[in-house]
């Protein structure tokens, strides 16, 4: 990845890491399925309004909508539901660890389904180092709960696998000439259409009380910033750096959430958090490869002289 790709990856991690605060506010007042439907619907409406204001075409021919609905199912609808259900049975910290398996799945899925993102020892080592850093930051106490509530954990792992499949699936839109803006608009529109009957059947939002302004504000931020804008960055990163590299953002989200908790809520950063960040940094450096190449060149130069 080049410098621009790394800045995009870090920006995504900041956006999605800070989303946990908004989600916490939203789901305490709005049923989960309704919250997901509102989030994707507002995000899709914001993008359509933006395109109309810019007088730009959506760039979504009829031929891509089948693939777009598949992407919506893989990247939004099913994972959101699985994580929503899973986190009613397991701790959110453990769910974060399971979500951080996404780049591991990404390496495997990209190796199987692509020709230019093959599995290498460096990639595997980097992903495992990063995953170890996430697990260390979340804490050893939560690791002891692995094995309990197996179905809930399997739901979260399945969601992580679906995210990896979605990352590889999204590569096709570049070949079809569909821009990241158009992919984001199509995916969120398809997600809103799928989630509407699901929310109506299971949550019956008309029977719920009107949410407070704080919850509505949180959903608005999640929709416009954490969905509409963030997915444009995400699909742009897939186009530029590939699915495997884009999926690394899931390793950075937990440490960003922990750091923001320390900055905004006065939470204490422990020694294991610093050690976990170090492991994640080593993992990302290994995957990037340039730092390793620099050391190798320095080791060869004295020998050559």
Q: What is the pLDDT of residue 296?
A: 56
Q: Which residue has the higher pLDDT, 285 or 79?
A: 79
Phi, psi (5° rounding) for residue 146? -65, 130
Mean pLDDT of the chain: 82
Q: What is the pLDDT of residue 298?
A: 55
Rounded-to-integer distance, Cα 106 and Cα 96, Å: 16
Distance of CA 142 to the CA centre of its chain: 21
Rounded-to-integer distance, Cα 108 and Cα 169, Å: 14
Phi, psi (5° rounding) for residue 103? -65, -25
The continuous run of DSSP H or E covering 105 comes out as helix 102-113
Rounded-to-integer distance, Cα 166 and Cα 169, Å: 5
Cβ neighbours of residue 285 closer than 8 Å, sequence gap 6 or more: 126, 291, 292
Question: What pLDDT, in 10s, does the model give residues 255-292?
Answer: 777 777 677 666 666 777 677 777 777 777 776 666 55
The answer to whether 76 and 142 are in contact (CB under 8 A) is no
Q: What is the pLDDT of residue 192?
A: 95
Rounded-to-integer distance, Cα 254 and Cα 258, Å: 6
**Confidence tier at 37 by pLDDT (50, 70, 90):** very high
Q: Which of 35, 41, 104, 49 is nearest to 72 (CA)?
A: 41
Taking 70 as the threshold, does the pLDDT of residue 254 lie above it?
A: yes
Taking 50 as the threshold, does the pLDDT of residue 305 lie above it?
A: no
Question: What pLDDT, in 10s, does the model give residues 84-94?
Answer: 777 777 766 66
Q: What is the pLDDT of residue 251?
A: 76
Rounded-to-integer distance, Cα 16 and Cα 13, Å: 5
Q: What is the pLDDT of residue 267?
A: 61
Phi, psi (5° rounding) for residue 128? -65, -40
Q: What is the mean pLDDT of residues 45-64?
A: 91
% of the chain with per-residue pLDDT over 90:
29
Question: What pLDDT, in 10s, does the model give residues 128-137?
Answer: 887 777 777 6
Question: What pLDDT, in 10s, does the model give residues 164-220?
Answer: 999 999 999 988 899 999 999 999 999 999 999 999 998 888 888 888 998 899 899
Lowest mean pLDDT among 8-12, 58-62, 110-114: 110-114
Distance of CA 197 to the CA centre of its chain: 25
Q: What is the DSSP letter of 146?
A: B
The answer to whether 227 and 46 are in contact (CB under 8 A) is no
Task: Give, in order, the Cα–Cα distances in Å from 293 to each of 132, 220, 223, 288.
Answer: 23, 44, 41, 10
Q: What is the pLDDT of residue 243?
A: 81
Rounded-to-integer distance, Cα 194 and Cα 61, Å: 19
**Confidence tier at 221 by pLDDT (50, 70, 90):** very high
State whether residue 148 is helix, strand or coil: strand
User: What pTM does this model have?
Assistant: 0.78
């Amino acid at each position: 990845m080049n410098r621009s790709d790394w800045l995009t990856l870090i920006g995504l991690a900041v956006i999605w890491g800070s989303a946990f605060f908004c989600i916490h506010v939203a789901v305490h007042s709005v049923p989960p399925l309704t919250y997901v439907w509102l989030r994707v619907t507002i995000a899709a409406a914001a993008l359509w309004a933006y395109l109309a204001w810019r007088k730009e075409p959506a760039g979504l021919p009829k031929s891509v909508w089948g693939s777009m609905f598949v992407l919506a199912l893989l990247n939004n609808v099913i994972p959101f539901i699985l994580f929503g259900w899973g986190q009613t049975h397991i701790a959110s910290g453990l769910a974060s660890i399971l979500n951080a398996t996404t780049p591991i799945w990404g390496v495997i899925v990209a190796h199987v389904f692509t020709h230019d993102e093959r599995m290498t020892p460096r990639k595997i080592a980097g992903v495992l180092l990063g995953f170890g850093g996430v697990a260390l930051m979340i804490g050893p106490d939560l690791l002891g709960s692995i094995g309990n509530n197996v179905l809930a954990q399997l739901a979260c792992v399945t969601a992580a696998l679906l995210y990896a499949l979605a990352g590889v699936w999204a590569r096709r839109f570049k070949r079809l000439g569909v821009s990241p803006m158009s992919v984001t608009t199509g995916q969120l529109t398809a997600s809103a259409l799928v989630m509407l009957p699901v929310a109506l059947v299971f949550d019956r939002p008309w029977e719920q009380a009107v949410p407070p302004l704080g919850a509505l504000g949180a959903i608005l931020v999640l929709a416009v910033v954490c969905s509409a804008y963030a997915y444009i960055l995400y699909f742009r990163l897939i186009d530029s750096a590939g699915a495997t590299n884009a999926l690394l953002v899931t390793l950075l989200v937990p440490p960003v959430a922990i750091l923001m908790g320390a900055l905004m809520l006065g939470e204490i950063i422990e020694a294991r958090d610093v050690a976990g960040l170090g492991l994640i940094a080593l993992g990302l450096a290994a995957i990037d490869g340039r730092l390793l190449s620099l050391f190798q060149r320095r080791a060869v130069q004295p020998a050559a002289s």
